[in-house]
Chains A and B, each alone.
Chain A
Amino acid sequence: GENVEQHPSTLSVQEGDSAVIKCTYSDSASNYFPWYKQELGKGPQLIIDIRSNVGEKKDQRIAVTLNKTAKHFSLHITETQPEDSAVYFCAPNQGGKLIFGQGTELSVKP
């Protein structure tokens, strides 16, 4: 079945700290693992993605790691800034579509 779980649901960090959000999926056939950032009043924005043949990908302060055996992947944000405050969604593909997690509300306190 299509089951995506994302943790934590809320995360509060101090500016400059790191934040980690974890996503667990159920379909072993999933081969594409994106993370989206959604700010208030806007649509989800793709911030980083990884494919199943890669274990880790980094883009400046953002990184994604994938553990296909355990069926989970994580978003890592280093040196957080207030503008990183938003809701983050994982959305692994399953059954020919993106299945979204419930979201993590990240708050970065100055």
Chain B
Amino acid sequence: KAGVTQTPRYLIKTRGQQVTLSCSPISGHRSVSWYQQTPGQGLQFLFEYFSETQRNKGNFPGRFSGRQFSNSRSEMNVSTLELGDSALYLCASSPEGQGAIAFFGQGTRLTVV
């Protein structure tokens, strides 16, 4: 079985721009969660999508949004980028989600300049 695929692996964006990251979960998994990883804050939960619906949300501003498609692939979008948004964004694939077993992708390294 193929693992979790995240694209792109690296991104450099300018403050004020917006960015879209993509995640393809493991085949058959219906839940996709997104996490932000920074040296200062560690791994923080952004949101979870299950069957195209947002099921849970972390404490991030509305600039962070996501969606899930009928094939379970998910995208997250960050608008009006700030320097502090520089981080590794990780996608986790799960058969059922909601804090159950999850498998992570390699992440997308976003740098905002």
Contact = CB atoms under 8 A, between A and B. Distances in A.
Interface of A: 32, 34, 36, 41-46, 49, 89, 91, 93-103
A44 B90 contact: yes
B56 interface: yes
Contacts of A99: 45
Nearest to B58: A97
Contacts of A42: 106-107
Given A42-B106, A43-B90, A100-B42, 6 more contacts: A34-B102, A41-B106, A91-B43, A97-B48, A98-B45, A98-B92
Nearest to A36: B104
7 A-B pairs with the lowest CB-CB distances in the bound complex, closest first: A93-B99, A43-B104, A100-B43, A96-B98, A44-B104, A97-B45, A43-B106
Given A43-B107, A44-B90, A103-B42, A98 B102 contact: yes
B95 interface: no
B100 interface: yes
B101 A34 contact: yes
B63 interface: no
Contact of A89 (B43, B44, B106): B43
Contact of B42 (A95, A96, A102): A102
Contacts of B100: 32, 93
A95 B104 contact: no
B70 to A, nearest CB: 23
Which among A49, A95, A96, A99 has the highest number of chain B CB atoms within 10 Å? A96
A46 B101 contact: yes
A40 to B, nearest CB: 11
Contacts of B69: none
B24 to A, nearest CB: 14
A96 B107 contact: no
A96 B90 contact: no
23 contacts: A32-B100, A41-B106, A42-B106, A43-B104, A43-B105, A44-B43, A44-B104, A46-B101, A46-B102, A89-B43, A93-B99, A95-B56, A95-B99, A96-B99, A97-B45, A98-B33, A98-B92, A98-B102, A99-B45, A100-B43, A101-B42, A102-B42, A103-B42
